[in-house]
Amino acid sequence: MSIRIPEAMTAIEIRAPGGADMLVPAERPVPRPGPGEVLIKVAAAGVNRADVLQRKGVYPMPPGMPADVPGLEASGTVI
């Protein structure tokens, strides 16, 4: 089965540290997985305490992750 991977996706960006009003939808390139990584077509995403603290600017993103896109929890299909 061949799956077409789009060039762009919608992500939620943290415009600046602060409240929920700092979360904005933005078009980003679809990431290309490297060795040992997978690409997930996200069906649902959750918000946990770490995401809230990242939005407030008081919790660092995991190494290798974009500094302005939260999302430590998601479910979907590995494509």
Which residues lie closer than 8 Å to 63 by C-beta, 6 or more apart? none
Below-70 pLDDT ranges, the chain: 1
Which residues lie closer than 8 Å to 15 by C-beta, 6 or more apart? 22, 23, 24, 68
Q: Count the neighbouring beta carbons within 10 Å of the beta carbon of residue 25.
A: 9
What pLDDT does 2 receive?
76
What pLDDT does 78 receive?
94
The pTM for the full model equals 0.78
What pLDDT does 4 receive?
87
What pLDDT does 1 receive?
62
